[in-house]
Amino acid sequence: MAHFFFWVWLLVIIVLVLALPSWPYTRGRWPYTRGGGYRYGPSVAAALVALLLLILFWLGLIAIAWPWAPSTPPPPPT
């Protein structure tokens, strides 16, 4: 579980840092120079992608862990 959270948070941090509008290659691009709500578009899209990845990782973890979950033992034979 610790490895899972490490890789998920590392992936989220990378996506969010790359979506910052202060990078030199994004400063002069269309969404950032137009103004208004458009400049938040790439950051919102990156956050939604990170959220989608979190949900998919979480569902994958459940799908992997569920079959191995302990269950109640069968009743003893009579």
Q: Tell me: the pLDDT tens digits for 35-73? A: 777 777 777 887 888 788 888 888 888 888 777 767 777
User: Is 54 within a domain?
Assistant: yes
In a domain, 74, yes or no: no
Q: What is the pTM of this model?
A: 0.52
Q: How far apart are CA 52 and CA 47, in angstroms?
A: 9
Tokens of 63: 């799908």
Domain assignment present for 75: no
Per the structure, the complete domain to which residue 20 belongs is given by 2-68
How many domains would you assign to the chain? 1
Is 34 contained in some domain?
yes
Cβ count within 10 A of residue 27: 10
Could you read off the pLDDT of 8-31 as tens digits, one per residue? 788 878 877 776 766 666 667 777
Q: Domain for residue 61, yes or no?
A: yes
9 lies in some domain:
yes
